[in-house]
Structure 1
Amino acid sequence: MASWTFLSNHAHVLLCLAENPDHKLHDIAERVGITERGVQLILADLIDGGYVERERVGRRNHYTLHPEGRLRHPLEAHHRVADLIAAFGRLET
């Protein structure tokens, strides 16, 4: 993997969830290239920030994205999560 990327790991996790809201932590960690603990911490940030909701379904989690949320950095704050997903991924319903 490259030594740096244009998107943060938070964005990568969000895009993984947009692709499949039922991804396991292990699967997300493999795709993003971080540890499962790293994914847990990022998910906690995204949930606390109101960008994602977690719902327990049996023994698994289902994640619901809130695409109306604004990006956090001042340079991108005029864009919504939906814009990021539209540019780099897809939101399955």
Structure 2
Amino acid sequence: MASWTFLSNHAHVLLCVAADPDRTLHDIAEHVGITERGVQLILADLIAEGYLERERVGRRNHYKIHPEGRLRHPLEAHHRVADLVEALGLDTGERVPPGGAEAGSPT
């Protein structure tokens, strides 16, 4: 594998959650190639900054992406998290109402 990638580990963790909101820390760590502790710290960052929400379901965690969050770097700040996730072929769980981007708005 190359020594660098286009996306940060934060983006990789976010994309893993987008692909499966019920993934375990172990599974995310394996996919991203970092430690479980690293995943915990990244998830804590994403939750603290409002990009993710964690809900306890039994003994497991379920994560919900907040698709309206803006990317952090000034070069990408005009894009939402949803834009990144959708550009890579995943789903944020955000649903467009029937009839367009904003129900009831003229097209």
Q: TM range, normalised to the smaller chain? A: over 0.9
Give distance in 1, aligned partners of 2:7 and 2:67. 17
TM-score, scaled to structure 1: 0.96
Superimposed CA distance per residue, residues 22-68 of structure 1 (whole angstroms, 9 cap, x where no aligned partner): 00000000000000000000000000000000000000000000000
Counterpart contact for 1:53–1:65, Cα < 8 Å: yes
Q: Does 2:69 match 1:64?
A: no
Whose radius of gyration is greater, 1 or 2?
2
Give distance in 2, aligned partners of 1:19 and 1:48. 21
Aligned ranges 1:6-85 → 2 under 5 Å: 6-85=6-85
**Deviation (angstroms), 1:87:** 1.0
5+ residue gaps, structure 2, are 94-107
Amino acid at match of 2:82: A
Structure (1 or 2) with the greater helix fraction: 1
What percent of counterpart residues are identical?
A: 81
Residue 101 of structure 2 corresponds to which residue in structure 1? none
Corresponding pairs, count: 93
Residues 47, 92 of structure 1: alpha-carbon distance in 2 compared, 3 angstrom cutoff:
closer
For the aligned residue pairs, the C-alpha RMSD in angstroms reads 0.9
Higher relative contact order (CA 8 A, sep 6+): 1
5+ residue gaps, structure 1, are none
**Deviation (angstroms), 1:3:** 0.6
**Deviation (angstroms), 1:11:** 0.3
* Secondary structure, aligned partner of 1:73: coil
